[in-house]
Amino acid sequence: MVKQQNIENFINYGYVPFSKSQCIKRILITWGMSFIVSLIGRDNHDWQIAFLCISAFISCVYILLMIRYSTKKFARFICDGVFFEYISLSLCIAAYRIIVIQVGSSWLLFIILVGLMKVCVALCCVMVYSNIVHDKYNEQANHRNSILFPLIGGISGMVAVRLFLHDATQNTIIMFLALMILLLSFITSIGSLNFLRALLVKRIETT
């Protein structure tokens, strides 16, 4: 049984109050990222529509947080979770779209890359649970965030990409760029753990 104090220590670890100005900046970053990624590769029309819809939805979420929930603690974590989840997924899509220029469209590769990113987040959740149990998020603990799982996931993604490239004529610079973006995608996916914090906040409030 995990102690409630340990959970509260995790929630409060590095906590920064909700900021409306930061939300507005993130709305602008979301639209900017959507515009850039939608221009990568071929057959951009469908991607542009998809990113337009997603950006509009995220903007509505941020506006709702600013208007109705700005004084709530969980708003901070929802804001962070949505932002980092979208950024990591956008970077993953960007890497995939760059790879497609070289090897052609492959939904299997896309599913593998997104799946590896989600496995990485799941493993990070396991690590966080262990840290909560051992109370490593208290103020006295010298806790360091680990990027081991994102690095492993990123390397696994690179291996998957290489399997799809064995017969392809490659532009080394383009592929290196795609793999670096993919690795950054796995690292930023750690931020989606803020959804876990939001869930724990609501759980404590209802008990």
pLDDT at 86: 93
Please state the pTM of the whole predicted model.
0.81
Q: pLDDT tens across 89-102, in order?
A: 999 888 888 888 77
pLDDT category of residue 146 using cuts at 50, 70 and 90: low
Closest listed residue to residue 33, CA positions, set 109, 108, 110, 85: 85
Residue keyed to tokens 């208290």: 138
Measured CA distances, 160 to 21, 37, 88 (Å): 40, 21, 18
Q: Sorting pLDDT into bands at 50, 70 and 90, what band is 170? A: low
pLDDT for position 83: 92
The three-class DSSP label of residue 100 is: helix
- Rounded Cα distance between 193 and 121, Å, is 7
Nearest alpha carbon to residue 175 among 113, 102, 88: 102
pLDDT for the residue numbered 31: 92
Please check the confidence at residue 168 and state whether its pLDDT lies above 80. Answer: no
